[in-house]
Amino acid sequence: MMRQSEATIPITQGIFNLIAYADDITEQMPHVAMVAEGMDASKPVTIRIHSECLTGDLFGSKRCDCGEQLERSLEILAEKRGVLIYLRQEGRGIGLINKLRAYQLQDTGLNTLDANTHLGLKVDDRHYDIALNILKDLGITSINLLTNNPDKIAAFADGEITVVKRLPLITIPLPENKNYLNTKKELLGHLLGGKNK
């Protein structure tokens, strides 16, 4: 996977350099890095690794907190001159079609984990090696990681990139996603702090 193209993108939160990463220039769905203006790789850089969620990120679905996390991350990253790495790993890596199938099962009472396993899928099939390669390409060697997910912290265990500290990314639970957030906390070990009421 290589850096294929880039351009300056002004968004509501600030000015970012959008960089597309793929194996080939014809790739229609590349992974991307949003690098805030003024990012300094010689210091620990605030990083958010965000896996694609079409329903939450684009359409604002309240079934999850992904869209809210993305918006809040971009605000923080613009302020701290950090980097958002957006990975094409829809539905924790199971893809949009299977995610919608899992949603149907959740509507019958299964939680997000059981719905995946009922479909014969992994609970979480995401991988973060691509994010590490993007950080290396950007010359980043130490980070402040904006996450609640212990798996993302563990992805840096080999020590090539140092996690100086974890920064929490807390959202306000809604009636539509309260059970989802509680499942992430209680069964996946997400570091949500306090009870989601």
DSSP reduced 3-state for 51: strand
- The DSSP-derived string for 78-133 is HHHT-EEEEE--HHHHT-HHHHHHHHHHHTTT--HHHHHHHTT--S-----HHHHH
Write down the catalytic residue from 124, 137, 158, 166. Answer: 124
d(CA 127, CA 155): 8
Residue 126's alpha-carbon distances to 13, 26, 27, 145, 178, in angstroms, are 27, 23, 20, 17, 23
User: 124 an active-site residue?
Assistant: yes
Write down the catalytic residue from 126, 137, 151, 158. Answer: 126
Name beta bridge partners: 162: 142
Name residue 68's amino acid: E
User: 126 an active-site residue?
Assistant: yes
Active-site positions?
124, 126
